[in-house]
Structure 1
Amino acid sequence: MKKFIYKITLVFLVLLTTISCSDFLDVVPQDKILESQTYSTEDGVQSAHNGLYLLLADDNLYGRQLTMDAVEIWGQQYNMNSQHSKYLTATYAYTQPEPKVTIAGIWEKAYATILASNKFLESIEEYHGVVSQEKEDLMKGEATAIRAMLHFDMLRLFGPIYKVAPSNPAIPYYDAAVTVNNPILPADEVITKVLADLDLSLSLLANDPVLTSGKYVATTAFDGDPYYSQNRGLRMNYMAVKFLKARVLLYMGDTAAASVVANEVIDFAKSTSFFTWTPFLEATNAANPDRIFSSENFFAISDYNLYVKQQALFDANLEDAKIYAPLLNRLTAVFESNDNDYRNLPSWKIPASGGKTQKTFFKYSDVVDKTKNFRFQIPMFKLSEMYLIAAETATTKDNAIAFLNTLRFNRGLTNLPLTANVTTEVTKEYKKEFIGEGQLFFYYKRNNTTSIPNGSAASGNVTMNELKYVVPLPDSEINFQ
């Protein structure tokens, strides 16, 4: 955050040294002129709003590090032994140069995007009337939810193990576009602010077209402008915010409230055709497999560089020291030797080229039909997670097993017996369901799991503790607090 404060200060100092005091009072700053031009038209407002989603797809955020790269390495999803270029990251050597660069990049881009969200919220208020009130509310609701989501994920990374030390210092929270560093707050205060933002967002999104028309279909709502009514599944829509609220409540340990919200989301999915389980034949289609289960996604980001990243991280032609891939026996253990699980074969195959004997990751590979609406999408919030939250928070074991069996049925698996251990089975599903989506590390941290499978060894575990789960704040933040 300090980097941006420095830039603003520098511009201010340059102005002071190039004009007289009297002249200075008559000058309209260049950034204010640009802001006025942007927010003077509806097209400009839409561009500024859409820019927030482009920022979310950045490599340092959900376009790579927070989905398929750093957080997956910390979750031990890949084999990154001592010969691998990411070995230091995989061993939680956070103070070493390479991991420090990654950590700083995540932090700075997250807070830059929070700053952009706050600036959008303040500017659309300042230039009120350029768009209708209902359009303004919709965009403000989305921007507020983006702000909440980023703060929550920074808390999950840099904050304490919440179930152990909820009052420990965590991160700063920014709900205004200020040019000074905000203080670092305790984790529970951050959660309070996240939930307040989510509730505000829900109130602003009360008329979201996703509630009546679903994720993709343009409607006559909002003057028939497709920017507001179409592709709601690629926006922080009302149901996506509900979804995030359930995730936050579970993280803070309020299982009763998390259960209520998760079941609300599940009931909505059941009562409409907007968020449906992806059929087996679509997930496993030879030419156009829907490996991300797009019909189930309450929110996904569009990343038009997705296939470049697929090649950079997972391509079979990469040398062993560069490729992100698991040991074959570890992957087999995750899927319990079950090829019927259609999270397995479509996304994991021994490649025809590259000389690799282990399976490599194809989840984000392109498909033949370039008109498929799931092209370039990275899942953010998926229906399966609501069933896992509902199972984890169910008040009876029978209900918990029923939620798990619904998920398993829709992944090609047989039912669990009522004697199954719920925690064990939920953990298994997190390992299978979210590979390349960045949720396993956070699951382990939320539960303070003390031992996790070592992705870089054929057997054995990594002992986990606070030093590994709590990613240290970057120097750029520590030095200016």
Structure 2
Amino acid sequence: MKKYLYKITFLFLVSLTTISCSDFLDVVPQDQILEDQTYNTEKGVQNVHNGLYLQLANNNLYGKQLTMDAVEILAQQYNMNSSHTKYTVTTYAYAEATPKATFSNIWETAFTTILSANKFLESIEEYKGVVSQEKEDLLKGEVIAIRAMLHFDMLRLYGPIYKTSPTNPGIPYYDQFVTTNNPILPANEVMVKILADLDLSLQLLANDPILTIGKNGVTNAFGGDIYYYSNRGQRMNYLAVKALKARVLLYAGDKTGASAAANEVITFTKSNAFFPWTTFLEATNTANPDRIFSSENLFALSDYTLYTKQKELFDSSLADDKIYSPLLTRLNAVFESNDNDYRSLPSWKIPIVGGKIQKTFFKYEDVPEKKMAFRFQIPMFKISEMYLIAAETAVAPNGIAFLNTLRFNRGLPNLGATVNITTEITKEYKKEFIGEGQLFFYYKRINSATIPNGTAASGNLTMTALQYVVPMPDSEINFQ
């Protein structure tokens, strides 16, 4: 990573503390003062650790671009015709100013966060003993998984079509804190490093409280600040990492491994009451609808600016050249004109105000009751995805049973034994992950030759590596 990123990380760490060190700056290096002050207390360690989650919610990462914005535009989720401000993104014109800046910012923010993660891992070893070994394992396990997740999503976005070109150049991998560029590795070598990080993370998270108290439970098993090590559904916990491993293995073409990982999560969630399916009444509750199906989320990222982003992207008062909204014919096709689907009714409505005649997106709209546990949350890993992975990797015809379980819990009838399972899985990806950033990566993983054209009432776009592979920013290429 380029040298200036070290300065970015330094400023990032400064923002996480309230320590005033201006009196000492003339005699001691600034970064050493900050590090000593920060890592000498458990609270300081927690501040830096929590800061990584705040960074994940950055607009350039999962707070916006990698969930509801850029990657959803690439998946043709919205109608963005030639007058729309994001038209050049929806047409994959990566050399144009808007997409070029967008994807450059995603890259830089991702690798800055990776750099910060590596600095945390280095420092917690250097200041060993400030937190207990049990706490250290938990914190390190989460951070290593964050590092793996970011590398994986950069590989999915900027790397080759893995199904056809796994040995083509991928991305650099940073598993240590360095301030110089690592070489760009073949995609399959990056995948090996991602999986190694996930396995290490799972070892460190073997005693994750989520396995005994669930994602919302409170534990005093670690002593001290019990709340920081509780509420595991808002952290990269053991089950979320296992789900990420299933996602990675499937992307790599290892269906056996992906099936095993997904089924481990499914078996766990079926054996206890920690992750019940969200009911129709909960999803469509008139007063406080749970549109993100929060009970099913293995890990949801907290974003306290979420509702500002909802208004910036989806609010009915926005002009047609700014709102992120699909054509009604396209939306009806996704849900097969079935409003009984739990995912349709609460999240897609013709708004009362704003003069819009099409349905607009309400998934991340705030609710009146400010104490609802699911407020400010963006789904990152869900049990529904594990059922889709299990369906795709099962020996025929067993996959239909996994699909039917998901469909039953979305208010849909069972599929017959003779359906084309790939077609049905694709339909579910279109419905299940709107505003969550997974559809484009699904299309790229299966190397779909065409995808529906979001700016036309019918017809498809031809997809090749020119559309699927986002070019690395100049700032990276020029320093290789």
Taking structure 2 as the reference length, the TM-score comes to 0.95
Measure how far apart 1:7 and its partner are.
4.2
Q: How does 1:12-411 map to 2 (within 5 A)?
A: 28-223=28-223, 225-397=225-397, 399-411=398-410
Checking the alignment, whether the CA contact within 8 Å between 1:173 and 1:182 is kept in structure 2 is: yes
* Residues 277-335 of structure 1: per-residue CA shift (max 9 Å, x gap): 11111011011100000010001100000000000000000000000000001000000
Measure how far apart 1:4 and its partner are.
2.5
The aligned residue for residue 453 of structure 1 is 452
Task: Name the SS for the 1:220 alignment partner.
Answer: coil
Letter paired with 1:423: T
The aligned residue for residue 464 of structure 2 is 465
Measure how far apart 1:27 and its partner are.
5.6
Measure how far apart 1:275 and its partner are.
1.4
- Residues of 1 paired with 2:309 and 2:252: CA distance? 33
- Residues of 2 paired with 1:4 and 1:275: CA distance? 43
- Residues of 2 paired with 1:105 and 1:177: CA distance? 21
**Closer/same/farther in 2, CA of residues 386 and 10 from structure 1, 3 Å limit:** closer
- Residues of 2 paired with 1:169 and 1:227: CA distance? 43
Task: Name the SS for the 1:184 alignment partner.
Answer: coil
Letter paired with 2:469: V
Measure how far apart 1:224 and its partner are.
5.7
**Closer/same/farther in 2, CA of residues 6 and 417 from structure 1, 3 Å limit:** closer
Checking the alignment, whether the CA contact within 8 Å between 1:222 and 1:228 is kept in structure 2 is: no
Measure how far apart 1:228 and its partner are.
4.0
Task: Name the SS for the 1:85 alignment partner.
Answer: coil
- Residues of 1 paired with 2:207 and 2:309: CA distance? 36
The aligned residue for residue 434 of structure 1 is 433
- Residues of 2 paired with 1:170 and 1:206: CA distance? 31
**Closer/same/farther in 2, CA of residues 5 and 319 from structure 1, 3 Å limit:** closer
Task: Name the SS for the 1:379 alignment partner.
Answer: strand
* Residues 167-203 of structure 1: per-residue CA shift (max 9 Å, x gap): 0001000011101100000000000000000000001
Task: Name the SS for the 1:223 alignment partner.
Answer: coil
The aligned residue for residue 22 of structure 1 is none
Task: Name the SS for the 2:320 alignment partner.
Answer: coil
Task: Name the SS for the 1:78 alignment partner.
Answer: coil
Measure how far apart 1:257 and its partner are.
0.8
The aligned residue for residue 18 of structure 1 is none
- Residues of 1 paired with 2:237 and 2:307: CA distance? 26
Letter paired with 1:110: A
Checking the alignment, whether the CA contact within 8 Å between 2:169 and 2:186 is kept in structure 1 is: yes
- Residues of 2 paired with 1:161 and 1:274: CA distance? 36
Letter paired with 2:191: I
- Residues of 2 paired with 1:275 and 1:190: CA distance? 32
Displaced runs of 4 or more, over 3 A? 5-11
The aligned residue for residue 479 of structure 1 is 478
What's the Cα RMSD here? 1.5
Consecutive unaligned residues in structure 2, runs of 5 or more? 12-25
Letter paired with 1:45: V
* Residues 396-439 of structure 1: per-residue CA shift (max 9 Å, x gap): 21x11100000000000000011111000000000000000000
- Residues of 2 paired with 1:4 and 1:119: CA distance? 15
Letter paired with 2:405: T
Checking the alignment, whether the CA contact within 8 Å between 1:5 and 1:180 is kept in structure 2 is: no
Checking the alignment, whether the CA contact within 8 Å between 1:135 and 1:228 is kept in structure 2 is: no
Letter paired with 1:177: F
Letter paired with 2:365: S
Checking the alignment, whether the CA contact within 8 Å between 2:314 and 2:324 is kept in structure 1 is: yes
- Residues of 2 paired with 1:5 and 1:320: CA distance? 38
Task: Name the SS for the 1:462 alignment partner.
Answer: strand
- Residues of 2 paired with 1:120 and 1:27: CA distance? 25
Task: Name the SS for the 2:223 alignment partner.
Answer: helix
431-440 or 26-35, which deviates more: 26-35
- Residues of 2 paired with 1:191 and 1:406: CA distance? 31
The aligned residue for residue 16 of structure 2 is none
**Closer/same/farther in 2, CA of residues 6 and 271 from structure 1, 3 Å limit:** closer
**Closer/same/farther in 2, CA of residues 384 and 31 from structure 1, 3 Å limit:** same
Task: Name the SS for the 2:299 alignment partner.
Answer: strand
Letter paired with 2:466: L
Letter paired with 2:79: N
Measure how far apart 1:219 and its partner are.
1.5
- Residues of 1 paired with 2:153 and 2:227: CA distance? 27
* Residues 10-36 of structure 1: per-residue CA shift (max 9 Å, x gap): 99xxxxxxxxxxxxxx96411111011
Checking the alignment, whether the CA contact within 8 Å between 2:103 and 2:473 is kept in structure 1 is: yes
- Residues of 1 paired with 2:44 and 2:128: CA distance? 13
Checking the alignment, whether the CA contact within 8 Å between 1:88 and 1:99 is kept in structure 2 is: yes
- Residues of 2 paired with 1:254 and 1:283: CA distance? 34
Measure how far apart 1:226 and its partner are.
2.6
**Closer/same/farther in 2, CA of residues 37 and 6 from structure 1, 3 Å limit:** closer
Measure how far apart 1:270 and its partner are.
0.3
Taking structure 1 as the reference length, the TM-score comes to 0.95
Measure how far apart 1:229 and its partner are.
3.3
Measure how far apart 1:451 and its partner are.
0.4
Measure how far apart 1:37 and its partner are.
0.1
- Residues of 2 paired with 1:400 and 1:307: CA distance? 37
- Residues of 1 paired with 2:433 and 2:471: CA distance? 25
